[in-house]
Amino acid sequence: MEAGELSRLGQELSERTDEVVARMMRRSAESSTTLAKVVEDSFRDVGTVSTVAVARWMSGEGEAVARAVGQESWRIFAQLASQQEAALNEVTKRCLRWRDCTLEVLGESAADLGLAGETLATARAMVQRSLDVTLVRMCQSFEDERQRAHEELSSREKELVFLATHDALTGLPNRTLILDRIEQTLRRSRQNQEPVAALFVDLDNFKAINDSLGHGVGDELLCAVAERLEGVIRETDALGRMGGDEFVVVAEGLSLAAGPELIAERLLEAFGEPFALGEEGETLVHVNASIGIATGVRASAEELLRDADIAMYRAKWGGKSRYLVFESGMEDEVQARLETEMDLQTALVNEEFFLVYQPTFDLQTMTPTGVEALIRWRRPGCGVVEPEEFIPLLEESKLIVDVGAWVLREACAQASGWQQEGRPMGLSVNVSQLQLDTDELLDDVKVALAASGLPPEALTLEITETTLMSNAEETARRLGELKELGVKIAVDDFGTGYSSLSHLRQFPVDVLKIDRSFVSQLADGGENEILLHTLVQLGKALEIETTAEGIERPQDLSLIRDKQCDNGQGFLFTRPLSAQDADSFFSSWSPNRRFEVRNERPDGDRVPFDGSLGPDAAVAGTDAP
């Protein structure tokens, strides 16, 4: 066989490339299986490239050249394999069709050129060789893709298993995994008689941080908390995130040698330093946590966690930033509290709230100057509930905003009625921090004043000292807007917070209400009397009225008057009254009323008290003759 004949045959094949491809595509179209047009176009490209490659090989450019040209076919096969657009058997069928069509064209060309049979045999062998190489490469492409898909699937399965058992945000074990670990710990505890404990950690006021700084900062804080908690527990302890701002630590064996309380103290200490958040740590966030501890073997992990959760809630109710160990009876308390919260949801709609009024007096003239409106709850089946039992729940649920607006409307309407009857007394209404944190308060005050017709100067809004200092700049802005309406501002429970002379000057304050804790300890003398004097003088220096709260004993009244405190209120004068009883009280009140000391003698007899209230004073609770 002459090399020239094989070269001529290769050139003829190259010229008839389109014919080879057309025959191949026609046979594929006639088959029982048709593929998407884009896939068939890929096979068209494979047929063209493969035909050109084998033709150049026959033309004398060598097998290496043919392989180089055929690289494009292998790339297409790899793409088909990765996209899974054609099954391996369909790809193989099309390769065989290309071979058959190429051999047909070669036979026709060899006959037309009058070439020897030996030349055609060599050419046919070269086509088969090209097909063999192509099939091997094609199978390798599909095998590579299968292996890659398997590895990806395995990786994805591992990822799904991790996500199913770990928290996506912090990477800590989630509730599912923590429960499993607790079950394992309980089994070991039963077998080895070793102690076990679960510590339920819940951040204090996290929702307020989330709402004020944004969810992005909130998520960053949760990650920082998780990292810090991991840094203070032992390697043998398990830390997990239960969801939201709740974390759990599970400890056993030697970790509890000194008691779970030591672990709780370490966890609380982890919150001692602020968390530096943001890209450069420019945002400092202070956050504390409440911790509930449950120890001892339980029937299930759910029970151990439930008891720890109950103890955590009791810790929060007791003042937050503390820990408590679960005790029997706590569950009943939590259940009762939950029932109270549920009843509060409908209390306003069902008109179960009502107001009572605590009179305030000018301590120099002993005449009434106004009243403080106080809320009470007549709970169905439970009677009247005192405010300390339900106001914290109103604040936690944010119902205090709507209830506070109702108090404003109701109290202003009553005070306006008294003024129209000729009793020009002032009205004080307490405002919670949640109310002051929203712009709704300004509208609520406007609505209450407009609806009642009460003069703005007759209304005083009482704000606790801690509320005043919680967000000083924003608080000052809102108080300024309220003052523009003409109402007065009083600082309630003054002396228990963080105010100083410089702080008070930031706010448009009209009245300082001195906390009852100072008044109740006046009889002890010394420091308490000095503190009272200092607070009164502070008010005078700032030209702010002072009101002493919680006056219950005649001797306290005398000392307070000696310190020249402007106003006072307390049980010595009267307990909070309904609106009707307040009418009767004011009608019967006399500035010459006298008070007496009770139970000052061993026999329990009352001892008359001459508190410089006037020489014509008589018996406590009665007017002078």
Range 39-62 average pLDDT:
84
pLDDT for 487: 96
| CB atoms closer than 10 angstroms to residue 555 | 14
In whole angstroms, give the CA distance from residue 562 to residue 612: 10
pLDDT-derived band of residue 371, with 50, 70 and 90 as boundaries? very high
- Using the predicted structure, report yes or no on whether residue 621 has a pLDDT greater than 50: no
Largest Cα–Cα separation, the chain: 151
CB distance 337 to 307 below 8 Å: no
pLDDT of 624: 32
**471's tokens:** 């967000």
Residue with tokens 């094949």: 13
**Are 80 and 91 a contacting pair, CB within 8 Å?**
yes
Q: How far apart are CA 293 and CA 288, in angstroms?
A: 17
pLDDT in tens, 125-157: 988 888 787 777 777 777 777 788 778 777 787
CA 209 to chain centre: 8
pLDDT at 406: 97
Is it the case that residue 604 has pLDDT exceeding 60?
no
- The total of other beta-carbon atoms located within 10 Å of residue 273's CB is 10
Q: Give 28-34's long-range contacts (Cβ < 8 A, gap of 24+).
A: 28/93, 28/94, 28/97, 31/93, 33/90
Considering only CA atoms, which of 537, 542, 533 is closest in space to residue 503?
542
| Cβ neighbour number for residue 15 with a 10 Å cutoff | 11
Q: Is 192 exposed, middle or buried (0-12, 13-18, 19+ CB in 10 A)?
A: exposed
How confident is the model at residue 615, as a pLDDT?
Answer: 30
**Which DSSP letter does residue 274 get?**
P
User: DSSP alpha helices (H): ranges in 285-364?
Assistant: 301-317, 330-347
The mean pLDDT of 439-464, rounded to a whole number, is: 94
Beta-bridged to residue 199, according to DSSP, are 249, 293
**Residues 435, 440, 444: CA angle, nearest 5 degrees:** 90
Regarding predicted confidence, which is higher, 300 or 539? Answer: 300
328-358 exposure pattern, b = at least 16 Cβ within 10 A, e = fewer:
eebeeebeebeebeebbeebbeeebbebbbb
CA distance 382 to 468: 34
- pLDDT tens, residue by residue, 56-94: 888 888 777 667 666 777 677 666 666 667 777 877 887
Mean confidence (pLDDT) of the chain: 84
| Amino acid identity for residue 103 in this structure | L
Average pLDDT over residues 99-106: 90
CB 256 within 8 A of CB 244: no
Hey, what are 505's tokens?
């000057």
Say which DSSP state 58 is in. Answer: I
Residue 469 or residue 210, greater confidence: 210
252 sits in which H/E element: strand 246-252
- Quick check: 361 pLDDT over 60? yes
C-beta separation of 225 from 275 below 8 A: yes
- CB 308, CB 294: distance < 8 Å: yes
Residue 622 has pLDDT above 60, yes or no: no
The string of pLDDT tens digits covering residues 239-293 is 999 999 999 999 998 788 888 999 999 999 999 999 999 877 788 899 999 999 9
Confidence of residue 617 (pLDDT cuts 50, 70, 90): very low
State the DSSP H helix or E strand holding residue 380, giving kind and residue range, or none if neither. Answer: none
Q: How many CB atoms lie within 10 A of CB 423?
A: 16
In sequence order, what are the beta bridge partners of 548?
514, 568
Which has the closest alpha carbon to 512: 483, 478, 489, 486? 489
pLDDT tens by residue, 196-253:
999 999 999 888 788 778 888 999 999 999 999 999 999 889 999 999 999 999 999 8
For 126-188, give the DSSP string: HHHHHHHHHHHHHHHHHHHHHHHHHHHHHHHHHHHHHHHHB-TTT--B-HHHHHHHHHHHHHH
> Could you read off the pLDDT of 375-427 as tens digits, one per residue?
999 999 999 998 988 998 898 888 999 999 999 999 999 999 999 988 888 99
Q: List Cα–Cα distances, 240 to 176, 223, 237, in angstroms.
A: 10, 12, 10
613: pLDDT strictly greater than 50:
no
The predicted structure's pLDDT at residue 526: 63
